[in-house]
Amino acid sequence: MSTATTAVRNPVTTSTTVPEPATSSSTTTGAPALAGPGYGGEATIIVDLEPATLNPYAPAAEVPPLGPIAQLYLVGISELDASLTRVPDVLEVLPTVANGGVTVNADGTMTVRYAIREGARWADGEPISGEDFRFTLEALAGTDLARLPYELTEGGGYDLVAPGSAVAGEKSFEFTLTEPSVVHEHMFSTLLPAHDVAGTDLITDWDDRTWVEGGPFRLEEWVPGERMTFVRNDAYWKADPETGLALPYLDRVVLRFIPDNSAHLPAFQRRDADVFESPPWPQVIDAVRELGGDGARIEVRDGVIWEHLSFQLGENNANEGSLNEHLDFRRAVAHAINRDALLDLGIWANSGDPLSSYLDIVDPAAAGDGWDRYPYDPDRARELLGGLCAELQRDCAADPPPVVLSTTSNADERPAIMRAVAEMLAEVGVAAELDLQDSTVFFGDTIDAGTFDVGIWAWVGTPGLAGLAAIHDLFDPESPPPAGQNFYRWGTPAVTEADDPRFVQGPSLVRDEHTARFAELVDLMHTTVDEDDLRSLAREAEEILADQVVIIPVVARGSALAWWADELGGVVHNPGQTGFMWNVEQWYRTDR
C-alpha cells in the first residue's frame, strides 16, 4: 500500500494540538481546577507497541511505527498541531509560494528556502544549522532510506533534488527540485545531526540508541519488554507560548509497554499510569468517564482513519451478476444506505456525523459538499433501480440484483456494518450476501486481484498539502495494481504483464470522460505548489468521485486519549500521525 495513505487492516486502535477545534465532537469528563505550569515530576504513559528501533530510517521502524514516541527526542521541519494543521518545528516558518519560501523557476525547477530558528540547537549545545540539512540530504539522496511514514515518492523527494543545488548557511538552507512538487513538505521530517552521525552507519549504529537529541527529552534507559525512560533535555530551545517559560516542564517521561489493550484500562484505573490512548470502544470510553469525579478526563476526536464502501469495477469481480458498472446502480446504493444509522451502531467512537468529504481529513479548507448529495432515500434508490432494470430489460422484482459484501472477519466492527448494509439494500430490492474473510486474505488476494464486489476497509489520510495530492493516487485511473493503488479498477487500463498473474486483467468496465479528467487532475496536483490552486484541483477531483460514486465514505474513526487531569496538565489530544505526545514538552504536574 502507499506510504502516503495507508490501508488500515484491522479495526483496532492505531497509535498514530490549543483548545480543541470547534468541529471536534470530543466529550470530556469534569475535572478539578488545575495548578498552573511549573517544573518537576514525571509522567507515565502506556504504550501498546514497543518500537523495534529508535532510528526512523531503519527498516524496523515501519512495523511497529515509532509514532508518538518520536516526538520526545527527534526534530524536523514541521509537525501537526491539535487542529491537524502543519506548523513549523525547527523552522521559523514553513516555506510557501505566498511567503517566498518556494519559487517556481523559469526553467521548470523549484527552489525551496528554509530559515532555521535562531535558538534551535542539539542536546549537546551544538546549533542546528544548514549543514545538518545538507548532511541529511546527502545521507538520504540516492538511497532507499527515506521511508518515513508519509513520504510521497520512493526516494522521499530527495531523488528530485537537483545535483549541486544545496546551499547551507549557519541558520539557512536552500535546495532546488528538478520539478515543482509539494513533496518538500515531508522532506527533512527527521533531521540528522551532522556532527554526531557523520562517519557512522546510519542503520546499524543507531538501532537501540539515539543520535544527539533535538527534541524536548533525552533517552535515559530502555528496558526491552518493560519500559523506556526519557529525561529533560536541558538544552531544549522552545518556550511555552502561553507563559514564556523554557520547556519542557517535566523532569522525566516513562513509557510502559503493555501490548494487551485490555490491560490498559485497569492499569489506568489503578493510577499505575497517567495517560493512555484508549481504543475507540464505547465501553472503555464510558468506563473512563465514570472516573471523572475522581479526576480522570477523556477526549474523543475524529481521527485520520476513514472507513469507506468501495465498488469493484474490474473484470475480476467474483460477482458475475454485479451491476457496479452502471452509475444509476451505484447511486441507488448510495441512497439506500442510511449512514447515520450505521454510526448509531456505536461501533467506532466519532463525532456522530457521517464523513461527507474525505478532504476534511487532509485539508478542511479544500473540502466541498462531497457525498451530502446522497441523503438516505429508499424511494429514490428504488426509482433508480427501476429505471436501470427497465433499461436492461430485466425483471428485477423476480430477479433482484445481487451484491456480495466483502470485508474482514477478524473483529466484530466491519461485519456488523456490512450486516446493517445488507438489510438496507434488501429494503430497496437488492439481494445482498456477506462474504467475511480473514484479513490476510481480504487485504491480500481479494483486494490485490480485485475479486471483491462491494467492500469496506479504511485508509489513513495524511493532513497537509502533500497528503492532499497523495490521497488522490488511490483512485488514479492510470495506476492499476501492482504498480499503482487503484484497487477499485476505476478507469484503469489493461494490465498485460505482471510477475503475479493475479494482476493481469483487462481494462476497467468504466472508462469515460470522468476517468480521463481525473487522471489529468492527479498529474496536475503533483506539480502544483500554490495552495489555492492545489485545493481547487482537489475539490474538482473529489467532486468527480462523489458524482460518479466510486466510493461511499462512511466515517472518520474516533481517537480517544485518557489522562488523570488532577495530576497532569497541558495535555491536548492530537488524533493525527504526530500522536498524542505532540506537545509533551508542555505537560506539567498539577500535584507537585
Contact 274, 568 (CB under 8 A): yes
Question: Among residues 68, 450, 500, which one has the least CA distance to residue 277?
Answer: 68
Task: Indicate the range of 139-153, 273-287, 529-543 predicted with least confidence.
Answer: 139-153
3-state secondary structure of 563: strand
- Quick one: cell of 415? 461485519
Mean pLDDT over 4-11 rounds to 43
Q: What is the pLDDT of residues 166-190, one digit of tens each?
A: 999 999 999 999 999 998 988 898 9
Q: What is the pLDDT of residues 201-236, one digit of tens each?
A: 988 898 888 999 999 999 999 999 999 999 999 999
For residue 403, the surrounding DSSP H or E stretch is: strand 402-408
Measure the CA angle with vertex 245, ends 241 and 247; round to 5°. 85
Q: 9 versus 550: which is more confidently predicted? A: 550
- CA dist 587 and 571 (Å) reads 6
Q: What pTM did the predictor assign? A: 0.88
| Neighbouring C-beta atoms of residue 344, cutoff 10 Å | 11
| Neighbouring C-beta atoms of residue 201, cutoff 10 Å | 9
Contact 277, 13 (CB under 8 A): yes
Question: Among residues 454, 325, 453, 452, which one has the least CA distance to residue 391?
Answer: 325
Contact 68, 579 (CB under 8 A): yes
Q: Exposed (0-12), middle (13-18) or buried (19+): which is 222, by Cβ within 10 Å?
A: middle
Strands 102-104 and 110-115: antiparallel
Q: Provide the pLDDT for residue 62.
A: 66
Mean pLDDT over 431-447 rounds to 96
Q: Is pLDDT above 70 for 147?
A: no
- Quick one: cell of 373? 448529495
- Quick one: cell of 542? 473529489
Q: How confident is the model at residue 280 (pLDDT cuts 50, 70, 90)?
A: confident
- Quick one: cell of 70? 518520536
Q: Provide the pLDDT for residue 74.
A: 95
- CA dist 98 and 534 (Å) reads 13
